[in-house]
Chain A
Amino acid sequence: MVPVSYYVALSAILFTIGALGVLIRRNAIIIFMSIELMLNAGNLLFVTFARSFEQLSGQVFVFFVIAVAAAEVAVGLALIVAVFKSKQSIDIDEVSNLRG
């Protein structure tokens, strides 16, 4: 049986990649995907601990996260389409109207 620490390490690696992707990349789609990566890193941890403690509530949470993520994707993609329509680009640095 694969020890729990492996799952946790994998989850940490996934989350770090996602976080770095959000912080470093300028393409909105990529950032989006990185966010999904971080969410799924979380999901992995939920599932891992649900199994190791034999409690179903962790798995139920994952369903909720997936459902919310689906909704978020719908909104986020709509936003990206809207940004593209006005800026002819999805470069996130172009969207800096609020700069002080």
Chain B
Amino acid sequence: MQFELFDLAPLLVILPVIGLLVNILIGDRVGERGIGWIASLAAGLTFVVSLLLFFALQGHHEGATVPFLEWIRIGEFNVGWNFRVDTLSNTMMLVVSGVGTLIHIYAAGYMHYDVRYKGDPHSYKRFFIYLNLFIAAMMILVSADNYLMLFVGWEGVGLCSFLLIGFWFTKNPDGTDGHSNSNAAKKAFIANRVGDFGFLMGMFTMFWAFGSLNFGDVLGHGAVEHVSEGTILAITLFFLLGVAGKSAQIPLYVWLPDAMAGPTPVSALIHAATMVTAGVYLVARSAPLFHASHTAELFVMFTGAGTALFAATIAVAQNDIKKVLAYSTVSQLGFMVAAVGMGAFVAGMFHLVTHAFFKALLFLGSGSVILAVERGHHPLEGDGGHDDHHEDEHHDDDHHEVFDPQDMRNMGGLRKIIPTTYRVYLIGSLALAGIPIFAGFFSKDEILADAFLESQPVYWILTVAAFLTAFYMGRQVLMVFFGKPRTHAAEEAKESPPSMTIPLMILAFLSIFGGLINIPVIHPLTDWIEHTLGHDLVHATKFNWQVAIVSTLLALIAIGISWLIYGRKEIDASQPDPLQRALGPIFIGMRNKWYVDEIYGFLIIRPYERLSSFLAHQVDWTFWHDWFHDSGIAAGFRGLANFLANPVDLGVIDGIANGLARATKGSASALRLLQTGFVRNYALMVFLGVVAILSFLIFR
């Protein structure tokens, strides 16, 4: 058989696995530099394989399915471990491995400091093992040829997310000992579990309706027409629940902001660029299913739009630099979900790609900012450029101080102090805000243009969300980089090393020019994905000048307003947010995340805790343990055992044995009287015996 480039597909998973195995085996010997190289190389080679597959697809747009292993075969039901390479999955492969590689390189620099600030340098290896594991799981997810294999990847990335959010599982986010990080990890895992329930139910329903989980059987031509619309609606709504869990949509988005407890490269890789977009990919992949049910599309669309606006309002009032980005991510995911919900699958995927670029850039940039401030606050040995007095003062008792290097109120004026980070961050912000020529403008605009044609309410919701996006990004940039440094730490901040800034520059480049992949008029991405989804589902959206001008103007106005509030005059670190005066209680609501966590706590968690406490104390302990086991089974058994021991064993069994013994003893003591010791008596007995026997013989 002729070798084809497509046959390389299994390497997508194998390479990162090799990387992590090598790190497990020899990671302790090669040192930090070696670990970073091995992990980055594994991710980089995965990217190379993705690129080769991309070139392979140039000649064969229809793609290929690469069988690797047979997995489950029960009668007609057949699930194989097959890799699907087509234009849609390849788009995801390129984004995941490409952005993933950059983040690996960045993390090699970032974690060098982070493990020292957390006081555990040995965790360096563990971090990169998890990171490679994540790449492997994500590759399984995007290259799956059936829903079950996709689910394996889906769970795999969920596991890595859990492991990495709780990476410093003995600490709080501020570095003190505590359980906040591990609680955040558990929250993410449990919220995703709810979503996974939906995914599983969707798969079960699909198996019931289609008898197969293979993409080819379910999504192929005409397959959906044999299934009733109600069933399709059930499947898609179950999938929507899964999407809400993984892609952080209402009502399950609450885990994502807490997931910022993980190290910043994790936030960038998993919780912004790749894993959380899995839900969008799932909907795009299942496009024929969702397209078949208009109700399902409406649900998906309004879920996405609602999330986009809701999360954007929360992002406006956050002070934690990463929390702003986290809610921004939730909001942007809402854009994507709304896009795929209204049938604009390409627009959703387009935004997914550009968002991966600029949100990874922003997160990594925020990591650079946080690290710069942390190093300004508490320099490590060998950092240089600080006076000894300062170090003595802060070295030992530093972890006890209340200083949050992620709080934007502790920053300010970093523009001049860390110029490289500032420049790339500004590019990322402009891309996210949707300023023309930057990547985010084109992708967001395509979504808005589709929404304009599809549904006016959704268009307006998304436009308001886009306005808020520009506002909170303006607020963030102004608070972090402009004005005067508000703390000593910000004054002493240090620029990050090249291993961190170079990936940032590459991402900045992509954030500027990423929009070219689906530039209006030519539509390369649309044509590319059309090969997979077919031209029924994919349509090139005409560039809508009205939409573009409105959104651009609104973005500029939002940035202007943010400058009026945050940029015009100096803000003190301790003073309340200036916006609070203007908005009053609305701002309080935004700052407290609309009390959603509290509402969930009141509606779900507290009743659930009460239920489990009831189950534990009343049902399990009082009823089951005390009553059923102790009073019922144990007491009953004790009674039975008593009965068997006393009357039965002692009375009957022992009675028989003792009676036998007594009878033997009695008869023996009676018989022993015969044993007189007089020979004559014995002789008489013999004589009488002989007489008796003879008489019997004679007289019978």
Query: Which residues of A approach B to under 8 Å, CB–CB?
Result: 19, 22-24, 26, 92-93, 95-100
* Neighbouring B residues of A98 by C-beta, 8 Å: 675, 677
Q: Choose one: A22, A96, A100; the contact of B683 (CB below 8 Å).
A: A22
Interface contact B687-A23, CB-CB below 8 Å: yes
Q: Choose one: A19, A93, A99; the contact of B687 (CB below 8 Å).
A: A19
Other contacts beyond A23-B680, A99-B677, A100-B676: 20, CB < 8 A: A19-B687, A22-B680, A22-B683, A23-B684, A23-B687, A26-B680, A92-B679, A93-B678, A93-B680, A96-B676, A96-B678, A98-B675, A98-B677, A99-B676, A100-B671, A100-B672, A100-B673, A100-B674, A100-B675, A100-B677
Q: How many residues of B contact A (CB 8 A)?
A: 13
For the complex, give the distance between the alpha carbons of A98 and B680 in Å: 13
* Neighbouring A residues of B679 by C-beta, 8 Å: 92, 95
For the complex, give the distance between the alpha carbons of A19 and B673 in Å: 24
For the complex, give the distance between the alpha carbons of A93 and B681 in Å: 10
Nearest CB of chain A from residue B689's CB, rounded to whole Å: 13
Give the one of B676, B678, B679 with max A CB within 10 A: B679
* Neighbouring B residues of A96 by C-beta, 8 Å: 676-678
For the complex, give the distance between the alpha carbons of A73 and B671 in Å: 33
Contact with A along B670-700 (1 / 0, CB 8 A): 0111111111100110010000000000000
Interface contact B677-A24, CB-CB below 8 Å: no
* Neighbouring A residues of B676 by C-beta, 8 Å: 96, 99-100
Interface contact A97-B683, CB-CB below 8 Å: no
For the complex, give the distance between the alpha carbons of A26 and B680 in Å: 8
Interface contact A24-B680, CB-CB below 8 Å: yes
For the complex, give the distance between the alpha carbons of A98 and B687 in Å: 20
Closest CB pairs A-B (n = 4)? A99-B677, A96-B677, A100-B675, A100-B672
Nearest CB of chain A from residue B57's CB, rounded to whole Å: 111
For the complex, give the distance between the alpha carbons of A93 and B674 in Å: 15
For the complex, give the distance between the alpha carbons of A99 and B677 in Å: 4
* Neighbouring B residues of A97 by C-beta, 8 Å: 677
Nearest CB of chain A from residue B688's CB, rounded to whole Å: 10
* Neighbouring B residues of A92 by C-beta, 8 Å: 678-680
* Neighbouring B residues of A100 by C-beta, 8 Å: 671-677
* Neighbouring A residues of B678 by C-beta, 8 Å: 92-93, 96
Nearest CB of chain B from residue A49's CB, rounded to whole Å: 18
Nearest CB of chain B from residue A65's CB, rounded to whole Å: 18
* Neighbouring A residues of B683 by C-beta, 8 Å: 22-23
Q: Give the tally of cross-chain contacts (CB within 8 A).
A: 32
Contact with A along B657-680 (1 / 0, CB 8 A): 000000000000001111111111
User: Is chain B's binding surface mostly helix, strand, loop or mixed?
Assistant: helix
For the complex, give the distance between the alpha carbons of A99 and B674 in Å: 9
Interface contact B680-A99, CB-CB below 8 Å: no
Nearest CB of chain A from residue B553's CB, rounded to whole Å: 129
B620-674 with Cβ < 8 A to chain A: 671-674
Q: Can you offer 15 A-B residue contacts whose CB atoms are under 8 A? A: A22-B680, A22-B683, A23-B683, A92-B678, A95-B679, A96-B677, A96-B678, A98-B677, A99-B675, A99-B677, A100-B671, A100-B672, A100-B674, A100-B675, A100-B677
* Neighbouring A residues of B677 by C-beta, 8 Å: 95-100
* Neighbouring B residues of A24 by C-beta, 8 Å: 680
* Neighbouring B residues of A26 by C-beta, 8 Å: 680
User: Smallest CB-CB separation from A35: which chain B residue?
Assistant: B683
Nearest CB of chain B from residue A19's CB, rounded to whole Å: 6
* Neighbouring A residues of B672 by C-beta, 8 Å: 100
For the complex, give the distance between the alpha carbons of A93 and B676 in Å: 10
Nearest CB of chain B from residue A96's CB, rounded to whole Å: 3
For the complex, give the distance between the alpha carbons of A98 and B673 in Å: 12
For the complex, give the distance between the alpha carbons of A98 and B674 in Å: 11
For the complex, give the distance between the alpha carbons of A98 and B677 in Å: 5
For the complex, give the distance between the alpha carbons of A100 and B674 in Å: 8
For the complex, give the distance between the alpha carbons of A49 and B672 in Å: 43
Nearest CB of chain A from residue B632's CB, rounded to whole Å: 59
Nearest CB of chain B from residue A18's CB, rounded to whole Å: 11
Nearest CB of chain B from residue A20's CB, rounded to whole Å: 10
For the complex, give the distance between the alpha carbons of A95 and B674 in Å: 16
* Neighbouring A residues of B671 by C-beta, 8 Å: 100
Give the one of A24, A26, A92, A100 with max B CB within 10 A: A100
* Neighbouring A residues of B687 by C-beta, 8 Å: 19, 23
User: Smallest CB-CB separation from A95: which chain B residue?
Assistant: B679
For the complex, give the distance between the alpha carbons of A97 and B676 in Å: 10
User: Smallest CB-CB separation from A96: which chain B residue?
Assistant: B677
* Neighbouring A residues of B674 by C-beta, 8 Å: 100
* Neighbouring B residues of A95 by C-beta, 8 Å: 677, 679
Nearest CB of chain B from residue A83's CB, rounded to whole Å: 11
User: Smallest CB-CB separation from A98: which chain B residue?
Assistant: B677
For the complex, give the distance between the alpha carbons of A42 and B437 in Å: 148
For the complex, give the distance between the alpha carbons of A51 and B122 in Å: 124
Give the one of B671, B676, B677, B684 with max A CB within 10 A: B677
For the complex, give the distance between the alpha carbons of A99 and B673 in Å: 9
* Neighbouring B residues of A23 by C-beta, 8 Å: 680, 683-684, 687
For the complex, give the distance between the alpha carbons of A71 and B263 in Å: 116
* Neighbouring A residues of B675 by C-beta, 8 Å: 98-100
For the complex, give the distance between the alpha carbons of A11 and B677 in Å: 31
Nearest CB of chain A from residue B691's CB, rounded to whole Å: 10
* Neighbouring A residues of B673 by C-beta, 8 Å: 100
Nearest CB of chain B from residue A60's CB, rounded to whole Å: 25
For the complex, give the distance between the alpha carbons of A94 and B674 in Å: 17
For the complex, give the distance between the alpha carbons of A98 and B679 in Å: 10
For the complex, give the distance between the alpha carbons of A24 and B684 in Å: 9
User: Smallest CB-CB separation from B674: which chain A residue?
Assistant: A100
For the complex, give the distance between the alpha carbons of A100 and B677 in Å: 7
